[in-house]
Amino acid sequence: MAGPVLQQPSYLLANLRADWTTKPLLQRCQELVKVIDDYPAKELHLIFPWLVESIFGSLDGVIVGWNLRSLPLRTNEHGIVMDFLDPSGPMMKLVYKLQAEEYKYEMPISYLPGPVKASIQEGVLPDSPLFHNKLQFPVSGLLTFSMSLNPFEYYMFNFASSLLSPKTYATTNATTTDNAYFVLVDTYLKYFLPTEGNVPPSPFSDTRGTVSPPAPRSPSVPFVGYGAHSTSLLKRHISHQPSVNADPAAQEIWRSETLLQVFVELWLHHYSLEIYQKLQSPQVKLALLQYRLNMSSMLCQPPALPGPGSHHTYQEPFSPTEEHVLVVRLLVKHLHAFSNSLKPEQIASSPSTHSHASPLEEFKRVVVQRFVQQKLYVFLQHCFGHWPLDASFRAVLETWLSYIQPWRYPGEKNQPADGLIRSVPEKWASFVQENLLMYTKLFQGFLNRAVRTDLVNAKNAQMVFRVAKVFSPPNLADMIQQAEQLFLEPELLHHRQHRVFLTPSHGGSFLSSRQAVTTDTVFKVKSHVYSLEGQDCQYKQMFGNELRGTVLKLVQIIAQARQTAKRISDHSAEVAANNSFLSWFGMGPSELNNTFNGGEVDDMGECVKKTHEFLDKALDCLCQIFRLNAGQLSQVMANMASAEDDMGSKQMPDCIVGESGPMLTDLGRMQIINGQRRFEIEYQGDPELQPIRSYENAFLVRLLYQMSSFINSRFGNRMAALCSRTDFLGSVGRHYLRCSPASRHSPPTRRSLESHTRPRLSLRGLASYRTLLSVLLLYLLAALLSFGPLSSTALILVAGLLYELLTHLLVEKVKSQ
C-alpha cells in the first residue's frame, strides 16, 4: 500500500496542471479551495511551488501566471483573484498549513537584486537579517547558491519578485495603479502592518497547534558579516515570555517583520555598483565607528574585510519602472501611517519603558528609520541620477515628497489628513534631523535636474511647483537649518567615550536601538549623515552660498520659461484670431506652414496658462524658502524680459562652425532646452511642391497643381501686371494671388527670389478633405433650396469671392487707421 501513497501527490499535481489551461479561472479556484481543505500538508507540499509560480509567474518572466499587474479592476476575474489571494483567503491558508509542518523551499540567489547577489557570491553576508540562516551552500560541482525559505517567506518572495520580473507580454496599463497587483500590495500592508489594533492571528491551525515562527538563527553561518547581528524583534521578545502562546501578538509579529523585509530588500535594493560599494565598504563603517566612540572601549570587533576582488565583477543595468516606483510610494505612505499610529503614551515614554511595550508598538517605533531610510535614500539617489528628463519623473518625485512629509499620513482614522498644512508640527523636528540628507541632498539633486528641464512644459513646471510648495512652510526651513547647524557643530569625542551607538547597518536587526544607550541630538545627526555618505563626505548646506547660487539660476530659468510661454501664448492667440470662418472651410488663404489646428491651439493655450500659474507659484515659494529679496527678483525678471524682447526669439542658439556646418555648444543646448532660443524651421521651397498632407487628396493635389501651373504659365504676365498696379484692382489681385516675399531666414537665391515674388494662382486648398466636405454640404443645401448644379456652382463662387473681398476691404481699412 505504500506505493500508491507515494504516487498520489504526483497524481494530484498532474491533474491540477492538466486542468490549469482548460478550465476557467473561477472553476480552478473552486477546485483549489477543495484541495487545500481536503488534502494534508504532506501532499500539498509538492504542489505549492508550482501553484505559486502559476499565480505570480516564473522569476525569469517566461511563465506569465495570472498577470496581476495587467488585471484591471471592476472585472469578474479581479474579484475572484482577490478572494483567493486575500490574507484570510485559501492561498494563505495553504501557506499556514505548510508553515505548521516547517517545510522549506529553495530559491536561487540569481533572482535576488544584483547588489545582494554579488555580496553573497563574494562570501559576505548582507546586512539584512532576512538572509541569515537561510543560505544553502552549492552541491559539489555547482556554483549556484540558494536560500532555504519557509512557506510564508517563499510566497512573499515570489509575490514581491513578480513586480520586477521582465515582461514578455503586452500590457495596457503597466504604469498605472488600477490593477490587481497594486490593490493586493495595499491589502497585505494593511493586514500585516495594521494602523489600528494588532496583527490578526492566523485563522487556520493545524492539528499540531499554532503556526510556528521561523527557527532561530544559527551562529555557525560561515559568512563574514559587517556587524554583530542581533536576533529579530519576535525572538528577543519571546525570550522574556514564559510561553509563546502567552502572547498571541508575539507569535504573529514575525509575519509583519518578514513581509516588510522582503518588500524592502527586493524593491529598494536596486542601484548602481558605486553606491552599493560605498554603503558596504568596511572602511566607511570602520571610520564611522572611530568617529562614534573611542576604539579602546568598543564592545565589538571591527568588521572583517572581504576579499580583494569583492563586487568588482558585479554589473546591473537596472532602471526602475514607473510602476515599480508607484508601488514603492504606496509602501512609504503606509509605513508612515503605520508608524504614526503609535500611541501617544508610547511615543512619550522613556527608553526604560520600551521593554514593556508590545512587539507591534516596538515595531512601529523604529520601522521607518531601521528598515526604509538607508535603502530608500540610495534608491531615490539612483532614480534622481538616471531617470530621463521628462514628465515620468513625477512618480519618483512624489515618492520622495511622501517620505519627507510624514505628518500628512496620520495613523488613526479620526485624525484628518490635512494636505494644506501651513506649518509643520514641532514634534517632527527630530524626524527632520534624523533624515537630513533626505531633505538637503535630494533637494540639491532635484535642482540639478530642474535647471536642465524644459520648464515651458506644464508637467515639468508643476514638478518644480510641487517641490517648492512642500518646502515652503516657514518652520520647515528653520528645522532644516537647525539640523544643519547641529551637523556642523564640532564633536568632542572624549566627552562620549563611554557611549555606544549602533546604526541599522551595524545592529543587524532593528532591535539595536533598544540597547541601553543614549546620545544627544548632535551625535544623532552626525551619525545619520556619516552612515549614508561616509565620514569624508563634503556636505553642502541647503542654505549656503553655493546652493543659493543654483537657486538663483533656477529662478532665472523660470523667468526665461515664462517669457517663452508668453511668446507661445501670443502666437497661439494670433493664429486663432487669423482663422476666419471661411478659412475654416478651406476657401481662405492656406497657410501650409502653420502646423496648429484649432483644437491644438486651444490645448496649447490651456497648457501655457497652467505653465504660467505653476511657475509664478513656484517663484513665490522659492522666495519664501530662501528669503530672496523681492527687488533682486524683480530685477532678474526685468532683465530676462528685456533680453528676450531684444534678441531671445530673433537669434539662433549658440553654435560653432565645424567641418560639417554649425554645431551646437553646451550653451546652445541649454538655450534650446529652456526655450531661450530656437531654430526657425520653415519650408523655404515652392509651397506648391510641399509633401502631400494626410488631410489632402493626393490625386486632386497633383491635378490641381497641373491646372494652376498651366494657368500661371499662360497668364503669368497679366497677373504680374495686375499685382503691380497701385489702385484697388491691384490690391484685390495681390489678395487673391500668391505674391509673398522671399524668406527672411536665409539668403535667397536669384531663382528662388524670382519664383517666390512672381504672382501665381494656387488651387491646392481645394484638395483638402475638409474643403471637399464643405463644398458637398453647400451643394446639398442648394439642392434643398431647388437650385440646379450650375446655379449652385455660380452661387458658391460668387458668395466666396464677395466674402473674401469684404474681408480684404476691412483689413485694408484697419491698416490705414
pLDDT per position as a tens digit, 201-226: 876 554 443 444 555 444 433 433 33
Structure-block grid coordinates of residue 93: 491558508
Give the pLDDT confidence of 4-20 residue by residue, as tens digits.
Answer: 333 344 578 888 888 88
Last residue in a domain, options 646, 663, 678: 646
Structure-block grid coordinates of residue 776: 458637398
Q: Is 564 exposed, middle or buried (0-12, 13-18, 19+ CB in 10 A)?
A: buried
Q: Confidence class of residue 642 from pLDDT cuts 50, 70 and 90?
A: low
At residue 311, does pLDDT exceed 70? no
Collapsed DSSP state (helix, strand, coil) of residue 72: strand
Cell 491644438, residue located:
600
Cα(375)–Cα(262) distance, rounded to whole angstroms?
Answer: 13
- Please state at what angle helix 728-736 crosses helix 698-724, rounded to 10 degrees: 160
Which range (24-38, 414-428, 457-471, 739-753) has the least confidence?
739-753
The alpha carbon of 34 is separated from its chain's Cα centroid by a whole number of angstroms, namely 42
* Mean pLDDT, all residues of the chain: 76
Return the half-sphere exposure (C-beta side, CA atoms, 13 A cut-off) of residue 389. 14
Q: What is the pLDDT of residue 213?
A: 54
Q: What is the pLDDT of residue 736?
A: 76
Helix, strand, coil tally for the chain in percent (to 5)? 60, 5, 35
* Bridge partners, 656 (sequence order): 663
Cα(149)–Cα(146) distance, rounded to whole angstroms?
Answer: 9
Number of independent structural domains in the chain: 2
Between the ranges 536-540, 613-617, 647-651, where is the mean pLDDT highest?
Answer: 613-617
The answer to whether residues 704 and 636 belong to one domain is no
Q: What is the pLDDT of residue 120?
A: 79
Q: Which amino acid would we find at residue 735?
A: H
Structure-block grid coordinates of residue 258: 518578514
**Which of 486, 524, 515 has its CA nearest to residue 373?**
524
Structure-block grid coordinates of residue 725: 498696379
**Which of 421, 339, 323 has its CA nearest to residue 372?**
339
When computed from its CA atoms, the radius of gyration of the chain, rounded to whole angstroms, is 35
Q: What is the pLDDT of residue 10?
A: 58
Q: Is 129 exposed, middle or buried (0-12, 13-18, 19+ CB in 10 A)?
A: buried
Q: What is the pLDDT of residue 59?
A: 86
Mean pLDDT over residues 111-140, rounded?
A: 77
Return the half-sphere exposure (C-beta side, CA atoms, 13 A cut-off) of residue 559. 22
Residue 82 lies in a domain: no
Q: C-alpha dihedral over 659, 665, 669, 672, to 10 degrees?
A: -80
Q: Confidence class of residue 250 from pLDDT cuts 50, 70 and 90?
A: low
Q: Which amino acid would we find at residue 562?
A: R
Which range (106-115, 167-176, 672-681) has the least confidence?
167-176
Q: Count CB neighbours of 122 within 10 A.
A: 18
Mean pLDDT over residues 639-663, rounded?
A: 65
Q: What is the pLDDT of residue 618?
A: 94
The answer to whether residues 437 and 568 belong to one domain is yes
* Bridge partners, 658 (sequence order): 661
The answer to whether residues 614 and 721 belong to one domain is no
Q: Confidence class of residue 760 from pLDDT cuts 50, 70 and 90?
A: confident
Q: Which residue has the higher pLDDT, 688 or 106?
A: 106
Domain that holds residue 468: 416-491+519-578+604-646
At residue 165, does pLDDT exceed 90? no
Q: Which residues contact 4 (CB under 8 A, 6 or more apart)?
A: none
Q: Confidence class of residue 57 from pLDDT cuts 50, 70 and 90?
A: very high
Residue 345 lies in a domain: no
Collapsed DSSP state (helix, strand, coil) of residue 319: coil
**Which of 278, 303, 310, 305 has its CA nearest to residue 289?**
303
At residue 498, does pLDDT exceed 50? no
Give the pLDDT confidence of 72-97 residue by residue, as tens digits.
Answer: 888 899 999 999 999 999 999 999 99
Q: Count CB neighbours of 556 within 10 A.
A: 16
At residue 610, does pLDDT exceed 60? yes
Mean pLDDT over residues 270-275, rounded?
A: 59
At residue 339, does pLDDT exceed 80? yes
The answer to whether residues 618 and 730 belong to one domain is no
Give the pLDDT confidence of 567-597 residue by residue, as tens digits.
Answer: 887 777 666 655 544 444 444 444 444 444 4
* Bridge partners, 209 (sequence order): 206
Judge contact between 102 and 186, C-beta under 8 A: no
Structure-block grid coordinates of residue 415: 485624525
Judge contact between 291 and 285, C-beta under 8 A: no
Residue 633 lies in a domain: yes
At residue 677, does pLDDT exceed 70? yes
Which range (49-53, 321-325, 440-444, 644-648) has the least confidence?
644-648
Q: What is the pLDDT of residue 638?
A: 66
Q: What is the pLDDT of residue 312?
A: 38
Q: Count CB neighbours of 63 within 10 A.
A: 14
Q: Confidence class of residue 262 from pLDDT cuts 50, 70 and 90?
A: very high
Three-class HEC string of 266-309: HHCCCCCHHHHHHHHCHHHHHHHHHHHCCHHHCCCCCCCCCCCC
Residue 40 lies in a domain: no
Q: What is the pLDDT of residue 1?
A: 38
**Cα dist from 481 to 367, 440, 485, 487, 542, whole Å:** 26, 10, 6, 10, 8
Judge contact between 679 and 602, C-beta under 8 A: no
The pair phi, psi for residue 9, each rounded to 5°, is: -60, -40
Q: What is the pLDDT of residue 200?
A: 83
Residue 478 lies in a domain: yes
Give the pLDDT confidence of 144-164 residue by residue, as tens digits.
Answer: 788 999 999 999 999 999 998
Cα(461)–Cα(616) distance, rounded to whole angstroms?
Answer: 10
Mean pLDDT over residues 323-352, rounded?
A: 83
Q: What is the pLDDT of residue 650?
A: 52
Q: What is the pLDDT of residue 500?
A: 41
Residue 436 lies in a domain: yes
The answer to whether residues 571 and 639 belong to one domain is yes
The answer to whether residues 630 and 711 belong to one domain is no
Q: Confidence class of residue 277 from pLDDT cuts 50, 70 and 90?
A: low
Judge contact between 133 and 215, C-beta under 8 A: yes
169 DSSP 8-state letter: S
Mean pLDDT over residues 591-606, rounded?
A: 51
Q: Is 273 exposed, middle or buried (0-12, 13-18, 19+ CB in 10 A)?
A: middle
Q: What is the pLDDT of residue 699?
A: 92
The pair phi, psi for residue 554, each rounded to 5°, is: -65, -40
Q: What is the pLDDT of residue 373?
A: 93
The answer to whether residues 476 and 625 belong to one domain is yes
Judge contact between 67 and 177, C-beta under 8 A: no
Mean pLDDT over residues 749-753, rounded?
A: 45
Q: What is the pLDDT of residue 367?
A: 93
Mean pLDDT over residues 122-132, rounded?
A: 78
Cα(165)–Cα(64) distance, rounded to whole angstroms?
Answer: 10
Q: Which amino acid would we find at residue 18?
A: A
Q: Confidence class of residue 341 from pLDDT cuts 50, 70 and 90?
A: very high
The answer to whether residues 527 and 445 belong to one domain is yes
Cα(199)–Cα(248) distance, rounded to whole angstroms?
Answer: 9
The answer to whether residues 635 and 710 belong to one domain is no
489 DSSP 8-state letter: S
How many residues in total does the chain contain?
A: 817
Judge contact between 164 and 158, C-beta under 8 A: no
Mean pLDDT over residues 756-768, rounded?
A: 80
The answer to whether residues 422 and 565 belong to one domain is yes
Judge contact between 559 and 640, C-beta under 8 A: yes
At residue 302, does pLDDT exceed 50? no
Give the pLDDT confidence of 766-795 residue by residue, as tens digits.
Answer: 899 998 998 899 889 988 988 888 888 888
The answer to whether residues 708 and 768 belong to one domain is yes
Which range (231-240, 249-258, 279-288, 329-338) has the least confidence?
231-240
Element (H, E) at 577: helix 545-578
Q: What is the pLDDT of residue 644?
A: 54
Residue 777 lies in a domain: yes
Structure-block grid coordinates of residue 58: 516564473
Structure-block grid coordinates of residue 24: 476557467
| Maximum separation of any 2 CA atoms in the chain, in Å | 116
Cα(271)–Cα(568) distance, rounded to whole angstroms?
Answer: 40
Judge contact between 220 and 115, C-beta under 8 A: no
Residue 100 lies in a domain: no
The answer to whether residues 483 and 626 belong to one domain is yes
Q: Which residue has the higher pLDDT, 195 or 672?
A: 195
Q: What is the pLDDT of residue 421?
A: 56
The alpha carbon of 122 is separated from its chain's Cα centroid by a whole number of angstroms, namely 32
Give the pLDDT confidence of 542-560 residue by residue, as tens digits.
Answer: 999 899 889 988 998 998 8
